[in-house]
Protein backbone atom coordinates (compact mmCIF):
# COMPACT_ATOMS: atom_id res chain seq x y z
CA UNK A 1 0.00 0.00 0.00
CA UNK A 2 1.25 3.50 -0.82
CA UNK A 3 0.84 5.71 2.25
CA UNK A 4 1.49 9.42 2.72
CA UNK A 5 1.99 10.61 6.27
CA UNK A 6 1.84 14.33 6.92
CA UNK A 7 3.95 15.09 9.96
CA UNK A 8 5.64 11.72 10.35
CA UNK A 9 9.00 12.45 11.94
CA UNK A 10 8.01 12.80 15.60
CA UNK A 11 5.40 11.67 18.13
CA UNK A 12 2.47 9.60 16.84
CA UNK A 13 3.33 10.15 13.18
CA UNK A 14 6.80 8.71 13.70
CA UNK A 15 5.42 5.58 15.37
CA UNK A 16 2.94 5.11 12.53
CA UNK A 17 5.63 5.57 9.86
CA UNK A 18 7.93 3.05 11.52
CA UNK A 19 5.18 0.44 11.79
CA UNK A 20 3.89 0.98 8.25
CA UNK A 21 7.42 0.63 6.84
CA UNK A 22 8.05 -2.46 8.98
CA UNK A 23 4.93 -4.03 7.47
CA UNK A 24 6.26 -3.43 3.98
CA UNK A 25 4.17 -0.44 2.91
CA UNK A 26 5.60 2.19 0.58
CA UNK A 27 5.70 5.26 2.83
CA UNK A 28 6.11 8.92 1.90
CA UNK A 29 6.50 11.51 4.64
CA UNK A 30 5.64 15.20 4.14
CA UNK A 31 7.52 17.28 6.71
CA UNK A 32 9.49 20.49 7.11
CA UNK A 33 12.87 18.76 7.17
CA UNK A 34 13.70 20.21 10.58
CA UNK A 35 14.04 16.80 12.23
CA UNK A 36 15.23 14.64 9.32
CA UNK A 37 15.19 11.06 10.65
CA UNK A 38 18.49 9.52 9.56
CA UNK A 39 17.31 6.10 10.68
CA UNK A 40 14.47 6.10 8.11
CA UNK A 41 16.47 6.46 4.89
CA UNK A 42 14.30 4.18 2.74
CA UNK A 43 11.25 6.42 2.94
CA UNK A 44 10.37 9.15 0.47
CA UNK A 45 10.81 12.48 2.24
CA UNK A 46 8.76 15.34 0.80
CA UNK A 47 9.98 18.60 2.31
CA UNK A 48 7.65 21.51 2.76
CA UNK A 49 5.65 23.49 5.28
CA UNK A 50 1.90 23.18 5.03
CA UNK A 51 1.60 26.82 6.11
CA UNK A 52 3.55 27.86 3.00
CA UNK A 53 1.71 25.56 0.61
CA UNK A 54 1.29 21.89 -0.20
CA UNK A 55 1.84 21.97 -3.96
CA UNK A 56 4.37 19.13 -3.70
CA UNK A 57 1.43 16.81 -2.92
CA UNK A 58 -0.60 17.75 -5.99
CA UNK A 59 -1.04 15.11 -8.69
CA UNK A 60 0.49 12.25 -6.67
CA UNK A 61 -1.34 8.98 -5.99
CA UNK A 62 -1.55 7.27 -2.60
CA UNK A 63 -3.82 4.57 -1.24
CA UNK A 64 -4.05 6.33 2.11
CA UNK A 65 -3.07 9.59 3.80
CA UNK A 66 -2.58 9.99 7.54
CA UNK A 67 -2.50 13.65 8.56
CA UNK A 68 -1.12 14.08 12.08
CA UNK A 69 -0.34 17.78 12.24
CA UNK A 70 -3.27 19.89 11.09
CA UNK A 71 -4.02 22.66 13.55
CA UNK A 72 -6.81 24.62 11.87
CA UNK A 73 -9.51 23.69 9.33
CA UNK A 74 -7.86 25.71 6.54
CA UNK A 75 -4.81 23.44 6.69
CA UNK A 76 -7.00 20.36 6.26
CA UNK A 77 -8.90 21.96 3.38
CA UNK A 78 -5.68 22.88 1.55
CA UNK A 79 -4.35 19.33 1.75
CA UNK A 80 -7.71 17.91 0.64
CA UNK A 81 -7.72 20.23 -2.36
CA UNK A 82 -4.12 19.33 -3.25
CA UNK A 83 -4.61 15.56 -3.10
CA UNK A 84 -8.06 15.72 -4.69
CA UNK A 85 -9.27 12.35 -5.91
CA UNK A 86 -5.75 10.87 -5.98
CA UNK A 87 -6.22 9.23 -2.57
CA UNK A 88 -8.50 6.36 -1.61
CA UNK A 89 -8.64 7.17 2.11
CA UNK A 90 -7.77 10.25 4.21
CA UNK A 91 -7.50 10.11 8.01
CA UNK A 92 -6.99 13.17 10.21
CA UNK A 93 -5.70 12.77 13.74
CA UNK A 94 -6.04 16.01 15.71
CA UNK A 95 -6.92 17.22 19.15
CA UNK A 96 -6.82 20.94 18.41
CA UNK A 97 -9.49 23.27 17.07
CA UNK A 98 -12.27 21.31 18.70
CA UNK A 99 -13.04 23.12 21.95
CA UNK A 100 -12.06 26.62 23.09
CA UNK A 101 -9.05 27.09 25.37
CA UNK A 102 -11.29 28.05 28.29
CA UNK A 103 -13.18 24.74 28.30
CA UNK A 104 -15.57 24.63 31.27
CA UNK A 105 -15.29 21.98 33.98
CA UNK A 106 -17.62 19.09 33.15
CA UNK A 107 -17.43 19.59 29.39
CA UNK A 108 -18.41 16.63 27.23
CA UNK A 109 -19.23 15.79 23.61
CA UNK A 110 -22.27 18.09 23.73
CA UNK A 111 -20.16 21.13 24.69
CA UNK A 112 -20.12 23.70 21.86
CA UNK A 113 -17.05 23.49 19.67
CA UNK A 114 -14.58 26.24 18.87
CA UNK A 115 -14.78 27.78 15.41
CA UNK A 116 -11.26 28.94 14.50
CA UNK A 117 -10.65 31.36 11.64
Residue 10 lies in a domain: yes
40: CATH = 3.40.50.720
Structure confidence by residue, pLDDT tens digits, 84-111: 889 999 998 876 666 777 777 888 888 8
Print pLDDT tens along the chain (117 aa).
999 999 878 888 889 999 999 999 999 999 887 877 777 767 899 988 888 888 999 999 999 999 998 877 888 889 999 998 899 999 988 766 667 777 778 888 888 777 666
Residue 69 lies in a domain: yes
Residue 56 lies in a domain: yes
- Tell me the DSSP string of the chain: -EEEEES-SSHHHHHHHHHHHHTT-EEEEEE-STT--TT-TTSEEEE--TTT--GGGTT--EEEEEE----SHHHHHHHHHHHTTSEEEEEE---SSSS-TTPPTT--TTSPPP---
Amino acid sequence: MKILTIGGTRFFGRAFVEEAARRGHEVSVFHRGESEPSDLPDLEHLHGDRKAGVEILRGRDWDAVLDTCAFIPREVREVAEAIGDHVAHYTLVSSLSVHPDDLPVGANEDTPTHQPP
